[in-house]
Structure 1
Amino acid sequence: MSENFYCEYCGQKFRTVSDLTSNVCSRHPAGSGKGKHKLYEGGEKSEYTCKYCGQKFRTLADLTFNRCVRHPDGADKRHSPAL
């Protein structure tokens, strides 16, 4: 069974850490295309929880797509996954 690796910023799935860290992320905090994907260090789960508001999502991609009203940097920022 192969392990999958996910980006903490966008939830995109990669087969290797090398592939993940060598590609540009469209949801990077500095702006679209302004930085590389960041490895999500939590494991694969049946649901993911935002560390700022506690809202739950079925996928990491769904979590990172939506905005978080309790984000410390402002309500226009996206949810961040809890480990």
Structure 2
Amino acid sequence: MSNFYCEYCGTKSSSISGLTANSCHRHVLGSGKGKHKLYEGSEKPKYSCKFCGTAASTISGLTANSCHRHPNGTGKGKHLPSL
């Protein structure tokens, strides 16, 4: 059975509908201001930020920190996993 992950926070669910039905605490609009977004890449041993290349072993570990090369500016957005 496949796992589905949120692109913003790394929350794991066994179904897409179960994932996208709930609010995301790391949503780009702010905590509780949007739903989880499906990460459309595959499960990997390491996830890299699509803006700066920083790597982490989990999506939640990657997205926990601010990205210095985020399009909105330094410290104005979190790392996002590349596909």
Superposed pair shares fold, TM > 0.5: yes
Q: How many residues align?
A: 82
Task: Give the structure 2 partner of residue 71 of structure 1.
Answer: 70
TM-score (norm 2): 0.96
Task: Give the structure 2 partner of residue 16 of structure 1.
Answer: 15
Q: Which amino acid aligns with 1:79?
A: H
Q: Which runs of 4+ in 1 moved over 2 A?
A: none
State the SS of the aligned residue for 1:61: helix
Residues in 1 aligned to 2:73 and 2:8: alpha-carbon distance in whole angstroms: 16
CA RMSD between the two structures: 0.6
1:62 maps to 2:61 = yes
Task: Give the structure 1 partner of residue 82 of structure 2.
Answer: 82
Q: Percent identity?
A: 57
Task: Give the structure 2 partner of residue 51 of structure 1.
Answer: 50
* Structure 2 residues not aligned, in runs of 5+: none
* Structure 1 residues not aligned, in runs of 5+: none
